[in-house]
Amino acid sequence: MKENLNETRLSPHFRLDEFLNLRKYPSNIPDMQVVANLAFGCYMLLEPARGLVGPIIVSSGFRNAAVNSKVGGVRNSQHLVGQAADIRPGNPAQFNRLVDFLRSCEYTDQLLTGNGWLHISWNPFAKPRRYVKVGYYK
Ligand SMILES: [Zn+2]
C-alpha cells in the first residue's frame, strides 16, 4: 500500500505522498474521499499556482486525527479531510506572487500566510469563503 501511494499522482506535478508525511507518520493513510479532495486542491489551486511560481513544497497536507493532534492542529482542521495544505514556493523570491495568486483564486476557501509559509484550503462541496489573512503566522 505505501509503495503504491508513493507512485500515485494527484495531478501532473503533485504526488499523493507529498501530502502524507508517511516517513514521519506511517499510519497517516488517507481514504478515497480524502484523495479526491486532495486532487481537487491540486487541480484547482496548486497546479495553476505552480504554473506561475514554479515548484511548490508541501510540508503538510492530509492529517489523520492522531497526526493532527500531534502537530497541534485545530479540532475541525481542513487538513483532516484533505482540504488544506501548508506550502511554500521552492523559490522564496516567489512568495508574494504565490500569495497574490491564491488570494485571487475563486477556489480559495482560506488563505493564511506568514513566516515564509502559506496555509491554503479548499472545499469541493461548499461555496469558497475566500477568507484571507496575511501575516497570520508569526
Ligand atoms: Zn495548514
Query: What spacing in Å lies between the alpha carbon of 11 and ligand 1's midpoint?
Result: 20
Query: What spacing in Å lies between the alpha carbon of 87 and ligand 1's midpoint?
Result: 8
Condensed to tens digits (0 to 9), the pLDDT of residues 38-49 reads 999 999 999 999
- 106: DSSP letter: T
Query: What spacing in Å lies between the alpha carbon of 80 and ligand 1's midpoint?
Result: 10
41-57-62 Cα angle (round to 5) = 50
Q: Phi then psi for 44, rounded to 5 degrees?
A: -85, -30
Query: What spacing in Å lies between the alpha carbon of 8 and ligand 1's midpoint?
Result: 22
Query: What spacing in Å lies between the alpha carbon of 21 and ligand 1's midpoint?
Result: 14
Q: What structural domains and CATH numbers belong to the chain?
A: 2-133 (3.30.1380.10)
Instruction: Please say whether the beta carbons of 65 and 31 come within 8 A.
Output: no
CA distances to 63, 73, 122, 127, 134 from 69, in Å: 9, 6, 21, 27, 25
Instruction: Please say whether the beta carbons of 99 and 134 come within 8 A.
Output: yes
Condensed to tens digits (0 to 9), the pLDDT of residues 19-76 reads 999 999 999 999 999 999 999 999 999 999 999 999 999 999 999 999 999 999 999 9
